[in-house]
Amino acid sequence: MEATTSRVSFFLMRLPAVDETTHSTYNVFLENMRPCAALYHVVGVRKGDRAALMSYPSTVLCIALFAAFMPGALPVPLRERTDP
């Protein structure tokens, strides 16, 4: 059990998401996903719903994307087309 706990602690301190402004460990990443998932619930997103996400690639998009899975929604990332 002690070996498993140390492996989990090591994993939670790794960096899953890094961009120009943010370096986030898995633990912080999960802490940021919880309020986002709660917000999905408040606005009425439920299991089986699709959640459209429009953002530039960033850690914020990753948080919103993975948080959509928490209430059982299917995230649909959208990207503005930049070329004609």
What are the tens digits of pLDDT across the range 26-42?
888 888 899 999 999 99
CATH of 2-78, one of 3.40.50.300, 3.40.50.980, 3.40.50.1820, 3.30.300.210: 3.40.50.980
Task: List the one residue out of 30, 28, 19, 27 whose CA is nearest residue 58.
Answer: 19
Cα dihedral angle (57, 63, 69, 71), rounded to 10 degrees?
Answer: -140
For the chain, give every domain's residue range. 2-78
Q: Can you give the pTM of this predicted structure?
A: 0.72
Which residues of the chain fall short of a pLDDT of 70?
1-18, 82-84
